[in-house]
């Protein structure tokens, strides 16, 4: 499995930004209240980020030789997939929240700060989840194989 590419994360954030902005415009034009992310979303995303990193630490210790405990390869693969999904979801949520904030800030009448701060907090927590996913993904990466001595001597 390859590491998550930065272009993929930027694409998810851009799609999220566009969807967040368009959703807010559609709701406002239909006369509905705009969506303001609750603070519980921020708390949940930060907690999920912490859980992802905590799950990756024992695998990193076993890979680096600092722990004698054996790691189930299926568990390691699940943690890597969770880390990759966390980085993608964090990027998407950061984009969605940023799109909502951009919509609120571009209105002719600036919205109340009580409406803007939850969106900013959700965007920041999405970035925290993104970074935690990338860190956990790197923690679960196998170190490069050492070159064979015989192959190295033959190449010289």
Higher pLDDT, 134 or 113: 134
Question: What's the mean pLDDT in 7-23?
Answer: 96
Residue corresponding to tokens 């993608």: 88
Identify the pLDDT of residue 70: 82
* pTM of structure: 0.85
What pLDDT, in 10s, does the model give residues 83-98?
Answer: 999 999 999 999 999 9
Compute the CA torsion angle 54, 120, 23, 26 (nearest 10 deg): 160
Q: Angle at which helices 39-64 and 113-139 pack, to 10 degrees?
A: 10
Indicate if the pLDDT at residue 66 is higher than 80: no
* Closest among 36, 155, 33, 47 to 99, alpha carbons compared: 36
């Amino acid at each position: 499995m390859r590491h998550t590419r930065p272009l993929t994360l930027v694409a998810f954030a851009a799609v999220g930004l566009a969807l967040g902005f368009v959703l807010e415009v559609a709701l406002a034009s239909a006369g509905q209240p705009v969506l303001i992310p609750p603070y519980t979303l921020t708390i949940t995303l930060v907690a999920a980020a912490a859980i992802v990193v905590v799950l990756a630490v024992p695998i990193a210790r076993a890979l680096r030789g600092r722990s004698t405990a054996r790691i189930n390869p299926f568990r390691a693969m699940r943690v890597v997939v969770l880390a990759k999904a966390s980085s993608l979801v964090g990027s998407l949520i950061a984009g969605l929240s940023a799109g909502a904030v951009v919509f609120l800030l571009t209105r002719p009448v600036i919205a109340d700060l009580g409406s803007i701060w939850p969106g900013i907090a959700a965007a920041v927590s999405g970035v925290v989840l993104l970074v935690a996913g990338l860190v956990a993904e790197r923690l679960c990466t196998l170190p490069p194989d050492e070159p064979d001595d015989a192959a190295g001597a033959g190449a010289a």
